[in-house]
Amino acid sequence: MSEKIYTWLLRLYPSRFREAYGEEALQLVRDRCRDEKGFLPRLRLWLDLLSDLALSVPREYFHVQPELTAHLRSDCGPSLLVLEDESLGRGALLCGGVLALAAAVSFSFLLNHGVKQVPLSALIRPARGAADHRSSSSAAQLRERGGDSQERGVRRTTGQPPATANSSPPDAVAPSNPEAPRTLDRPRPSVERSLEASHVPRTSRTDANLDRAERQRVVDRAVANLKRHYIDPHVAQKMADALVEHEKNGDDDAAADGQGFADLLTRQMRDVSHDRHLEVLFSEAPLPERPPAPPGFTARYRKALEEANCTFEPVRVLPHNIGYLKLNSFPDVSVCQHTAEAAMASLNHADAVIFDLRDNRGGSPGMVMLISAYLFDHPEYMYNPRENTTEESWTRSPVPGNRLADKSVFVLTSGRTFSGAEHFSYDLKMLKRATLVGETTGGATDVGTFHRLDDHFGIGIRETTAINPYSEPDWAGIGVQPDVTVKAADALEMAVRLAESKLQKK
Amino acid sequence: MPKRKLIPLPSAAFQILLALAGEDLHGYGIMRHVAEQTDGRMRLGPGTLYSSIQTLLEAKLIEQIEPREDAGPGTARRRYYRLTSAGRKLARSEAERLADLLRVARSRRILRGEYV
């Protein structure tokens, strides 16, 4: 009994002592036990052992092996003091392993849940109001200069100059605010200032002073543009006749303000053509003669995009291995190809994918095609009413190494989902490749090419000939209906539930 | 962490040296000798005993010898220790130091008896 207890107590000594003298110490206890029998001698033995233990254990731990002290004495710089010279025991390894695992798990948990994600806008916005040396701040200022109605008017068109028609329009998207690149279409501050300086007739107008002469001018130019640009000359002629007819009949007199007049003309054209891609636009602030990008804009735009990680928010893996990617725009492929590829690569091992387009105001069709390519194992036609059908209308599927082609896809939409994001949503829905969850999308009518009519009016005319292969009309003006309608705020939760139940069925 | 020192010589170490002065002993033998020579006042526990032995070995004051051939069964695994000449010298100088102390004590009439 005593021997067993002492064997256990021996563990208190450093291993080097146990190795050298453990057996002998035990033998000594055995000898004393053998020789000292009876209650009192045994009591004395244990008092001896315990007091000895109390004194010698601490001393042993302070005792340094000679070779170590010799090493420490030498002047060879700092050295580590090894207290234990035996290899790590199983218990120590197990304990260390468990601790390391716990640290890794809690760290990843914190990354996923505990650490609040900083919205991209917060990264860019601080520049607002600061010195105008960043594109985002200049974009913000532009936005502030333009009146509400201008914003409304111009936002709804691609506004690209006719010269660049049908080239991929950079029709959306700034890192800070999805609308910012649309400032390409807007008067630059310098232009605006010079216009303001000249006062008449090119001042920022108020809605009241829409006179008959201007109405006449707008109608005439709209007619001219229709005849020149509209794809079907016969329908163009009918629309032109209708516009002139209404003007003559005085139907337009009811329109008191610019926006009302633009809406009226739009209705008149659509009544004849039933073409929702036609639109007359009004801008309170004067429209520039041509809307070229300000010098250096492209470079600043690229830089801001890169700084904002191309508006890609970090890929998250939700429970049940559901990949989640929030895309706040479809940024220019020439700048953001690698970012997009990296994001898709980190989604690659997900069992289902959720694309969150609830704050996506659109962007480059090239990016829509690039991301869609990952969702198919063969080239798939993606109908885009804004572009003629070309080789680029097919996805470059399959993407080498990609594993998402057969995974469930969910797209979250809201009333603020616009343009390129609607293109993405519409085609994936029509191809039955994705389940749309959320609200009906915004219904951007920016499928046409913008033509300037005068300082405050423009017309958007669709000039492409791509034929919609689906029975359902595209999103222009009406938006894309989700498959599962829930409030935008609840869309993620719903999509996760759907994805989970789908995964469980498998 | 300093290496354990033998200056001044700890009493346990000195007692071990004294115990080994007569004959080569194993650990338990040392312990019993020490108990005897101190009238049972110092009973070295295994921890103190073997850490002292270790220190003395490192200082080459004692050495470990092969088990005696005439050792009976049960003693085969025991290690025996022998006093080295350095150990004997140190034990003597320690004894002399104590003798000096004793003389001083007696000259101060703290202790009665003859000079040693």
Instruction: Please judge whether B4 and A59 are an interchain contact, meaning their C-beta atoms are less than 8 angstroms apart.
Output: yes
Instruction: Please judge whether A21 and B50 are an interchain contact, meaning their C-beta atoms are less than 8 angstroms apart.
Output: yes
pLDDT exceeds cutoff 60 at A297: yes
Reported confidence tier of residue A463, pLDDT bands at 50, 70, 90: confident
Q: What is the mean pLDDT of residues B106-116?
A: 72
Rounded mean pLDDT of chain A? Answer: 76
Lowest mean pLDDT among A53-67, A71-85, A253-267: A71-85
pLDDT at residue A303 in the model: 84
Range of A203-212, A223-232, B78-87 with top mean pLDDT: B78-87
The verdict on ipTM greater than 0.90 is no
How many Å apart are CA A427 and CA A101, to the nearest integer?
44
Residue A437: phi and psi, rounded to 5, are -125, 125
pLDDT exceeds cutoff 60 at A284: yes
- Residue B34 corresponds to which tokens in the numbers above? 């020490």
User: Bigger pLDDT: A375 or A286?
Assistant: A375
DSSP-assigned beta bridge partners for residue A458: A281, A452
Is B4 an interface residue toward A (CB < 8 Å)? Answer: yes
Q: Hey, which residues 35-94 in chain A have their CB within 8 Å of chain B?
A: 44, 48-49, 51-53, 55-57, 59-60, 62-64, 66, 69, 81
Lowest mean pLDDT among A409-418, B2-11, B50-59: B2-11
Is B67 an interface residue toward A (CB < 8 Å)? Answer: no
Q: Which of A3, A23, A63 should be substituted to probe chain B, the one whose Cβ sees the most B Cβ atoms within 10 Å?
A: A63
How many Å apart are CA A6 and CA B90, to the nearest integer?
34
pLDDT in tens, A104-132: 999 988 887 755 555 555 555 444 434 33
Helix (H) / strand (E) containing A160: none
User: Bigger pLDDT: A372 or A251?
Assistant: A372
**CA distances (Å), origin A274, targets A271, A307, A348, A473:** 6, 43, 43, 12
pLDDT exceeds cutoff 90 at B33: yes
Chain B CB contacts of A51 below 8 Å = 45
Instruction: Please judge whether A27 and B53 are an interchain contact, meaning their C-beta atoms are less than 8 angstroms apart.
Output: no
User: Bigger pLDDT: A112 or A208?
Assistant: A112
Region label for A419, one of left (φ > 0), alpha (ψ between -120 and 50) or beta (otherwise)? left
Query: Quick one: angle between helices A189-198 and A135-145, nearest 10?
Result: 30
The pTM score is 0.47
Measure B31 CA to nearest chain A CA, in Å: 9
How many Å apart are CA B74 and CA B91, to the nearest integer?
31
CA angle at A138 for the pair A133 and A144, rounded to the nearest 5°: 150
Q: What is the mean pLDDT of residues B60-72?
A: 74
Q: Which of B30, B31, B43, B77 should be substituted to probe chain A, the one whose Cβ sees the most A Cβ atoms within 10 Å?
A: B43
Q: What is the mean pLDDT of residues A422-434?
A: 92
Instruction: Please judge whether A27 and B78 are an interchain contact, meaning their C-beta atoms are less than 8 angstroms apart.
Output: yes
pLDDT at residue B96 in the model: 92
Asked whether the beta carbons of A211 and A256 are under 8 A apart, the reply is: no
pLDDT in tens, A135-162: 333 333 333 344 433 434 344 444 444 4
